[in-house]
């Protein structure tokens, strides 16, 4: 037995105890790294992710749809109420901003579940976040009467929606499932 400065005998710590604790910690870490989620777990994670993304974009998409419908009614002569169309577009634009819509703030900070990392779905989140930004711009343009920019905005919306859909569809096909994609309007819906 060794002694410390107090003069009292102290039993040395057993080396096997340290080794056992280290082995248990190492085994836990290795098991955490080697857990591969089942196909069912991956499918559930992907469905949850797609539903969350759709929910986060719902009010922005609805506002854009309403803005485009009001604009089309004005340009076709079905309505002459420009003030209401402008208000719809301004309100819709605010719903496509994270400052005016907490769900979009959630989308911007959304993290793809680790189990889905191999599918590169951060690209889908990036494209959908960009889609909301372009939707806000399109509605600001509508409110300002800048319909000349609208064709370009709608083309960008279609491209971003298509790109996000490709990421999600690729992951769904890899897992052998059909996925409900976020319902987002674009130029193809209002030609």
Which tokens is 57 given?
A: 């974009």
* pLDDT for residue 172: 95
State the residue for tokens 């298509």.
Answer: 162
pLDDT tens profile 119-153? 999 999 999 999 999 999 999 988 887 676 788 88
Please report which residue ranges of 35-149 form alpha helices under DSSP H: 39-76, 82-95, 102-108, 122-143
CB 54 within 8 A of CB 184: no
Task: Mark whether 73 and 7 lie in a shared domain.
Answer: no
* pLDDT for residue 23: 75
Greater confidence (181 vs 187) lies with 181
Whether residue 159 is predicted with pLDDT greater than 70 in this model: the reply is yes
Task: Mark whether 8 and 49 lie in a shared domain.
Answer: no
CB 135 within 8 A of CB 159: no
Whether residue 189 is predicted with pLDDT greater than 80 in this model: the reply is no
pTM over 0.85: no
Q: Report the alpha-carbon distance of residue 107 to residue 122 in Å, rounded.
A: 11
Domain total of the chain: 2
Task: Mark whether 102 and 62 lie in a shared domain.
Answer: yes
Task: Mark whether 13 and 66 lie in a shared domain.
Answer: no
* DSSP codes joined into one string, 17-43: HHHHHHHHHHHHHHHHHH----HHHHH
Task: Mark whether 8 and 74 lie in a shared domain.
Answer: no
Greater confidence (108 vs 10) lies with 108
Whether residue 104 is predicted with pLDDT greater than 80 in this model: the reply is yes
Task: Mark whether 49 and 11 lie in a shared domain.
Answer: no
Task: Mark whether 13 and 107 lie in a shared domain.
Answer: no
Distances (CA, A) of 13 to 10, 22, 72, 78: 9, 14, 81, 87
Task: Mark whether 94 and 26 lie in a shared domain.
Answer: no
Task: Mark whether 29 and 110 lie in a shared domain.
Answer: no
CB 107 within 8 A of CB 59: no
Task: Mark whether 23 and 59 lie in a shared domain.
Answer: no
Q: How confident is the model at residue 103 (pLDDT cuts 50, 70, 90)?
A: confident
pLDDT tens profile 42-78? 999 999 999 999 999 999 999 999 998 998 888 888 9
Task: Mark whether 163 and 82 lie in a shared domain.
Answer: yes
Structural domain span for residue 18: 2-33
Q: Report the alpha-carbon distance of residue 71 to residue 79 in Å, rounded.
A: 9
Whether residue 2 is predicted with pLDDT greater than 60 in this model: the reply is no
CB 127 within 8 A of CB 164: yes
Q: Report the alpha-carbon distance of residue 25 to residue 61 in Å, rounded.
A: 48
Task: Mark whether 79 and 172 lie in a shared domain.
Answer: yes
């Amino acid at each position: 037995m060794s002694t410390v400065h107090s003069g009292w005998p102290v039993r040395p710590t057993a080396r096997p105890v340290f080794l056992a604790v280290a082995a248990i910690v190492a085994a836990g870490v290795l098991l955490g790294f080697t857990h591969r989620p089942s196909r069912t777990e991956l499918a559930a994670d992907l469905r949850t992710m797609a539903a969350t993304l759709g929910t986060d974009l719902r009010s922005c998409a609805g506002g854009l749809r309403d803005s485009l419908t009001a604009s089309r009614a004005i340009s076709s002569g079905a309505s002459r109420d420009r003030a209401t169309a402008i208000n719809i577009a301004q309100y819709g634009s605010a719903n496509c901003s994270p400052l005016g819509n907490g769900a979009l703030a959630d989308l911007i900070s959304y993290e793809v579940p680790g189990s889905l990392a191999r599918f590169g779905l951060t690209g889908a989140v990036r494209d959908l976040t960009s889609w909301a930004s372009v939707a806000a711009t399109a509605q600001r343009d509508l409110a300002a009467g800048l319909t000349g920019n609208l064709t370009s905005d709608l083309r960008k919306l279609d491209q971003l929606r298509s790109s996000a859909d490709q990421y999600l569809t690729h992951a769904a096909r890899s897992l052998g499932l059909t996925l409900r994609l976020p319902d987002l309007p674009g130029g193809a819906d209002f030609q």
